[in-house]
Amino acid sequence: MKLLVTGRQGQIAQALAGLIRPDVTIVALGRPDVDIRDRISLDRAIARNRPDIVVNAAAYTAVDKAESDSVLAFAINAEGAGHVAAAAEAAGLPVLHLSTDYVFAGDKDDAYRETDPVAPLNVYGRSKHVGELAVAAANPAHAILRTAWVYGPHGTNFLTTMLRLAGERDSLRVVADQRGTPTHAGDLAEAILIAARAVTAAPKAENWRGLFHVAGTGETSWAGFATEIFRQSAARGGPSAHVEPIATADYPTPARRPANSRLDAGRFHTTFGHVLPHWTSGVARCLDVLDKAAP
C-alpha cells in the first residue's frame, strides 16, 4: 500500500513518514514540489507516484495569526483541501483528510460526536470547517478525521513549547479552564494507517466514509497537560517548571478557543477496531525520542 501524504513538514506527515512497515510506502510531499493551492501540482504528484490513497495533512495551523491572515488560512485549509480531494477523485482514489476540534464552539458539557453541530469561534476553525465541506463535495470516497491537541517530538507544539519555556523560567501560567483530548502524533499516524488499510481493502464500502473523531484516550486541561509533561521530564532529569493554573480571561489571545475540545472517538473504534492509547503514554514516548536526540 502506498500513501501520498501532503504537508511534508507537519507533525502528522513526519510521524507517518517515520512509520516502518514492510508492506507500506509513505510518500510525503510539500512545497516546492507540491503546493495544495495549485491543483496542477497535485495532479502531477499523483500521476508520478501512483499511490493507493491520498492523505491530506497539509494545513495552516497558526491559530492566532489566522485572525489577521484569513486569506491564506482559507486558501490552504479550505480551497487547498478541496483541491487535494478533487485531484484524488480525478485519479479514482480515496482521500483521508485531517481536521480539527476547533470546528466546535466548546459549549457542550460532554465530548463532541460527529453528529454535533459545528460553530467555530475563530478563523482557523471556520477555514477548517469549510475545508471539510470542500472535501466532501469534491470526492465521495472520503474520510474526514477530526483530531485535537496534537503533540509530538517534532516541530512546534504544546509539549515542545512547554519544555523550551521550562528551560527559561521557573514558573509558567497555563490556562486551566479549557479541556481537551491530547493526541500524540505517532498514535494518530498509526490510526491513519489503520484507516487507510481498511479503505484500500474495501474501496466501495460505505462504512468508512464521512466524519470520524480520532483523539487520544483521556482528557485534561492545558494546565494539567503541562503539569504531566513537567512531571515526566523532571523524573528523567529534564527541564521542569511550576505550573500556575489561570483562567482563559487571564490569558487573552487574538483567536477565541473552545472551552471544551473533547472528542468522542467511538465511531472510529466501531468502524476500524482501534482505540488510541492514553495521552500520558504518548508524553513518555515523546520524551524518549527527545532524550535520544539530545547531544
Task: Count CB atoms within 10 A of the CB of residue 43.
Answer: 16
The whole-number pLDDT of residue 262 equals: 96
- Write down the catalytic residue from 60, 102, 112, 124: 124
Rounded to a whole number, what is the distance in angstroms from the first to the last CA of the chain?
36
The whole-number pLDDT of residue 240 equals: 96
How many domains, the chain? 1
Angle, to 10 degrees, between the axis of helix 39-49 and the axis of helix 81-90?
Answer: 40
148 by DSSP, 3-state: which? coil
- Domain range for 283 is 2-293
124 is annotated as an active-site residue: yes
Q: What's the CATH number where 223 sits?
A: 3.40.50.720
Q: What is the C-alpha to C-alpha distance for residues 100 and 77, in angstroms, rounded to an integer?
A: 11
- Low-confidence stretches of the chain (pLDDT < 70) are 294-295
The whole-number pLDDT of residue 265 equals: 97
The whole-number pLDDT of residue 158 equals: 96
Q: Which grid cell is 133?
A: 465541506
